[in-house]
Amino acid sequence: EPEVTQTPSHQVTQMGQEVILRCVPISNHLYFYWYRQILGQKVEFLVSFYNNEISEKSEIFDDQFSVERPDGSNFTLKIRSTKLEDSAMYFCASRGQEASYEQYFGPGTRLTVT
Amino acid sequence: KNQVEQSPQSLIILEGKNCTLQCNYTVSPFSNLRWYKQDTGRGPVSLTIMTFSENTKSNGRYTATLDADTKQSSLHITASQLSDSASYICVVSATGNYQLIWGAGTKLIIKP
């Protein structure tokens, strides 16, 4: 069964450094999402991406964040100048046709900023 | 403000017993409601998705109900198994906005 994959599973970085989290969505999906979940808290929407551009973003998704689909398979989240409060699980999700509501989530990347 | 509230916050039951988790929402205009299961340290996995016109949906031992008038949903788990131990999250989507509004989840622990 097709699934969303994410790499790395765990990333440790120093405050102020840039990180890139990578996702490979399900191959025929058209809509892509990033979410984050701070330990013990709710899942929070960051951004949605369709047709090579951002379709929606939350207040969390400020200039520190960017997304890209550099090729036909990868979907990346870049965090510039990481802060301690960026430590969280980051989940990528993808969705197929517009008529389908179903989002499929990857296993997540645990980001630890020290 | 669009919000999703879940209760209880946590629940411990014995293996083989049934349980019901609750979700209240204030999302408008309503599009659909989902229940996800999230194992610790893993991504959420969809259990059910219900639109306005659906008031019950089953997925194996999981049965979700939706009352769009009172803006309430429940997730009933029958004959619980140890593998049901997880967080169960209620998520609501508004029409015209694909952003999902997440509840805080109910942490369910099944004891042998």
**Sheet of A19-24, strand order:** A5-7, A19-24, A75-79, A65-68
What is the tens place of the pLDDT at every residue in A41-87?
Answer: 999 999 999 989 999 899 999 999 999 998 878 999 999 999 999 99
Contacts of A102 in chain B (CB under 8 A): 46, 49
Check B43 against A48: CB less than 8 A apart. no
Is B100 in the A-facing interface, judged by CB distances under 8 Å?
Answer: yes
Q: How far apart are CA B21 and CA B3, in angstroms?
A: 17
Select the more confidently predicted residue: A9 or A101.
A9
For A108, name the nearest residue in chain B, comparing CA atoms only. B43
Instruction: Give the one of B32, B99, B105 whose C-beta lies nearest to A45's C-beta.
Output: B99
Instruction: Report yes or no: A105 and A34 within 8 Å, Cβ to Cβ.
Output: no
Write the single-letter amino acid at A3.
E
What is the tens place of the pLDDT at every residue in B33-69?
Answer: 999 999 988 899 999 999 988 999 999 999 999 999 9
Portion of chain B with pLDDT greater than 90, in percent: 79
pLDDT reported for residue B103: 95
Check B104 against A42: CB less than 8 A apart. yes
For A39, name the nearest residue in chain B, comparing CA atoms only. B41
Count of CA atoms in the C-beta half-sphere (13 A) of A59: 0
